[in-house]
Amino acid sequence: MESSANKKRTVSSDTITGVLKRIIAENGRDHIGGYAFAISCLVVVALSTAFTAWIMKVIIDEAFANRRADMVWIICLSIFIAFVLRGFASYGQAVALSRIGNNIVARYQRRLYAHLMTLSVGFYNEARSAHIAAQVSQNVGGIRDVMNLTITSTARDLLTFIALLGVMVFQDPLLSLAVFILAPPLLYGLRYLSKRLRQVTREAIHLNSHVLGAMQETIQGIAIVKAFTMEGELVRKLNKLVGAAENRANRIARLSERNAPMTETFAGFAVASILAYAAYRSIYHNVPPGAFFSFVTALLLAYDPARRLARLQVQLERAVVNARMIYELLDMEPRQRDLPDAKPLNVTDARIEFRDVSFAYSADPILNNVSFVAEGGKTTALVGPSGAGKSTVINLIPRFFDPKSGQIFIDGQDIAHVTKQSLRQQLAYVSQQPYLFEGTIRENIRYGRPEATDAEVEEAARLAYAHEFILAQSNGYDTPVGENGVTLSGGQRQRLSIARALVRKAPILLLDEATSALDTESEAAVQRALDEAMTGRTVVVIAHRLSTVVRADKMVVMQQGRVVEEGNHETLAKRNDGLYARLNNLQRPAASDSF
């Protein structure tokens, strides 16, 4: 996996406080105006709620006990104004926090996508695409939730609770003291629940990513699923994963909602005790009921903010788990960074040289001291049996991976000491399995060079022998290709891939068995397109069928990660004891029998 960012940051993000500090540091300043407005609205909500409780004493004593009619309209008007203010303030804070929250989610989605673009190909080889997608889609809202929960809990719930508590203390200090005595056991129980919830939430996220991964793999390989009647087996596999995710979600529900009976029990005991005490004082000591009603109103109104505050740690634990997983991804440093002395690549002849290059994906070596030269402006073909290391050679040129030892030069410049951006701008790449992105045919070709004009796009399509079939589509160049070009044949997708490489106008062209999966007719069309693409460029091509590269200027024959032969087709075919000659002899009968 990619290396973790500095340990200090990671350690500081292990607690709720650490995550909260980081989120505020990254987002607070940009939204200080919006948060100030939301907080002011929440303050109005808190004070208007406390006012409603406080005025109950005046209502009971003045309107019902003292029967002062002159006070009724003042009291009613003040209550009406308090409710109106609370309504508009609630609306204002909700809209403000939603706008800020949506902006935070959008910001982190952009940031995550940009960061994912910096991670190496090795990271994507090791990570499941569905897991990454789930990590981004499910967890990015955690950062928004942490901020919103903090603001609303502090400015609304905590302030409302404190204001109502002030009313309670003012009206009856002794009853208020009883509430303080009963509260600590409840807080301890809620803290215990939040700790248990943290690990369960992380496990649920991982399980959900596996469910998404299984669904994604089934959709992508639906033809194989149908052909091999795998439906039953895959349904059983998915049912098992979904069952595990369901059980984990149920456990989260049980833990999350377990605070309800705790808080309700506490509230019921407190209210019942207070009512009994108030009734006793009113019956036996003739205490006026106004202060009691005000106290009870404050107590009942304080129940909701107290309940939300009691749930706060549980909710924050879930949100922080999500936020922490986002930061784990953002804190991954790219495995391949440009060196401090890296300079832009300057290409003249586009001559590529491998010098004693060795490479291993894990412990087993793939390349062993590979050395060869691909001359500028000429075609060099990599041939050999499967597993010889040909694709690895192709992958090392654009620095998808870096060699374990040895050097790779382009025009005498070590590519380890040039910027990856400048290196890849000089390359065009056509893979064995062409990938088309969502969008139109024109957009897919233009990905090779975003600034290319429509005329340049169409010229590249003509050179790739794709222009005619494109015009035959329903909307020509503006025809949507569907997911990964599902509406096009394999040969058509490959020719669009070649057109994308041609429009790039790069001096170096890398071809990774670009015709191996095509039928004879499609291969012929693609081969004509490749002949156009190779003209005037330095080409490194992997050949599955030797017949497609017989005109190559140079053959580099590989076996078990080593270069065993070099030369052109005529020279190598005459070496009866050579590997190339054996491969050539094996393929010739197969070629003749196919016609």
pLDDT, one tens digit per residue, over 181-191 is 666 666 666 66
Per-residue pLDDT of 413-439, as tens digits, reads 999 999 998 999 999 988 877 888 888
CATH 3.40.50.300 fits 336-426+538-595, yes or no: yes
Which candidate, 159, 162, 110, 156, places its Cα nearest to that of 136? Answer: 110
Q: Please report the pLDDT score of residue 403 as a whole number.
A: 92
Per-residue pLDDT of 531-576, as tens digits, reads 777 878 899 998 777 877 888 899 999 999 999 999 998 888 888 7
SS3 at position 249: helix
Class of domain 3-333: mainly alpha
Distance CA 459, CA 426 (A): 20
pLDDT value at 167 more than 90? no
One-letter amino acid for residue 594 of the chain: S
> Phi first, then psi: what are they for 33, rounded to 5°?
-65, -45
HSE, CB side, 13 Å, CA atoms: give it for residue 578.
Answer: 22
Task: Give me the residues paired with residue 472 across strands.
Answer: none
pLDDT value at 458 more than 90? yes
Q: Please report the pLDDT score of residue 184 as a whole number.
A: 64
Among the residues of 447-508, which ranges form H helices?
454-463, 467-471, 490-504
CA distances (Å), 230 to each of 77, 226, 235, 237, 296, in order? Answer: 72, 7, 8, 11, 65
* Cβ contact 554:379 at 8 Å: yes
Q: Please report the pLDDT score of residue 10 as a whole number.
A: 43
Distance CA 295, CA 53 (A): 7
Per-residue pLDDT of 565-588, as tens digits, reads 999 988 888 887 888 888 888 776
Average the pLDDT over each of 53-67, 174-188, 232-246, 339-353 and give the range with the smallest value. Answer: 174-188
Segment of 238-242, 436-440, 484-488 carrying the highest mean pLDDT: 436-440
Give the confidence band of 592 by pLDDT, cuts at 50, 70, 90.
very low
The mean pLDDT of 320-338, rounded to a whole number, is 81
pLDDT value at 9 more than 50? no
Average the pLDDT over each of 289-298, 393-402, 426-435 and give the range with the smallest value. Answer: 289-298
pLDDT value at 1 more than 80? no
Distance CA 396, CA 409 (A): 11
Percent of the chain with pLDDT over 70: 81
Q: Indicate the burial class of 468 (C-beta count within 10 angstroms; 0-12, 13-18, 19 or more).
A: exposed
DSSP state of 466: -
Give the confidence band of 55 by pLDDT, cuts at 50, 70, 90.
confident
Higher pLDDT, 460 or 522: 460
Is pTM beyond 0.85? Reply is no
DSSP letters for 13-79: TSSHHHHHHHHHHHHTGGGHHHHHHHHHHHHHHHHHHHHHHHHHHHIIIIIIIS--HHHHHHHHHHH
Distance CA 515, CA 524 (A): 9
581 alpha carbon, distance to own chain's centre: 49
pLDDT value at 343 more than 60? yes
pLDDT value at 238 more than 50? yes
The mean pLDDT of 148-157, rounded to a whole number, is 80
Q: Is 505 left (phi over 0), alpha (psi -120 to 50) or beta?
A: left
Give the confidence band of 517 by pLDDT, cuts at 50, 70, 90.
low
Higher pLDDT, 252 or 323: 323
Q: Please report the pLDDT score of residue 346 as a whole number.
A: 93
* Cβ contact 534:379 at 8 Å: yes
Higher pLDDT, 376 or 12: 376
pLDDT value at 13 more than 50? no
Per-residue pLDDT of 459-470, as tens digits, reads 999 888 889 889
Residue ranges covered by each domain of the chain: 3-333, 336-426+538-595
pLDDT value at 334 more than 50? yes
Averaged confidence pLDDT in the chain:
80
Count of other CB atoms within 10 angstroms of residue 19? 24
pLDDT value at 397 more than 90? yes
End-to-end CA distance of the chain: 49
* Cβ contact 444:479 at 8 Å: no
* Cβ contact 565:572 at 8 Å: yes
pLDDT value at 171 more than 70? yes
- By DSSP bridging, strand 508-512 and strand 427-430 are parallel
Distance CA 408, CA 353 (A): 6
CA distances (Å), 548 to each of 365, 541, 572, 576, in order? Answer: 29, 10, 16, 21
Residue with tokens 């989605």: 109
